[in-house]
Amino acid sequence: MKILKPYMRNTSISCYLCFLLSSHFLTEVGIHVFIWGCVGVGLPKTEANWEDVLADLNIIKSDIQSIHIDVTLYTDSDFHPGCKFTAMKCFLLELQVILHEYSHTRLNATVNNMMLLIKSNLASTQNITESGCKECEELEEKNIREFVQSFIHIVQMFINTS
């Protein structure tokens, strides 16, 4: 008897559940539920990692060379390693400012993707509190190039400690 890996068992159970649900709703909607359910469980389950965030930051770094972005953002350029989660939360808040202020399609898509990756990476650390760290509004405001460079530095710190 072949033992299935846990993720394969979940896939089989999900497909059977979709089939069971759709068999009770043999309508067009039921068929769509079945098809999309099977497609959904078949998609690869990837974990986000900090290297992906770094790749997005390098895309943004490249994009801002050709886009005129006149914005200053709270930037933690000399953060303490004991404050990396607090600093990352501030960087996330400032990314929302970029999305709000600029409507550049590629930049916004990259920023949105990066925010999802970071939130995924930090999901298990939601309850971590760091003491003695600066609040976001206490940080110095810097231009977007310096912001991205500091952001790259903190992401590299996360990569080196994971």
Rg of the chain in Å (alpha carbons): 21
Among residues 66, 31, 56, the alpha carbon closest in space to that of 120 is found at: 56
Mean pLDDT for the chain overall: 79
Among residues 41, 39, 37, the alpha carbon closest in space to that of 21 is found at: 37
For the stretch 87-96, pLDDT in tens is 999 999 999 9
Are the CB atoms for 43 and 28 separated by under 8 Å?
A: no
Distances (CA, A) of 100 to 14, 23, 45, 82, 93: 38, 45, 30, 30, 11
Are the CB atoms for 10 and 40 separated by under 8 Å?
A: no
Q: Which fold has domain 50-161?
A: Growth Hormone; Chain: A; (1.20.1250)
Confidence of residue 8 (pLDDT cuts 50, 70, 90): very low
What pLDDT sits at residue 122?
A: 87
For the stretch 101-117, pLDDT in tens is 888 888 899 999 999 99
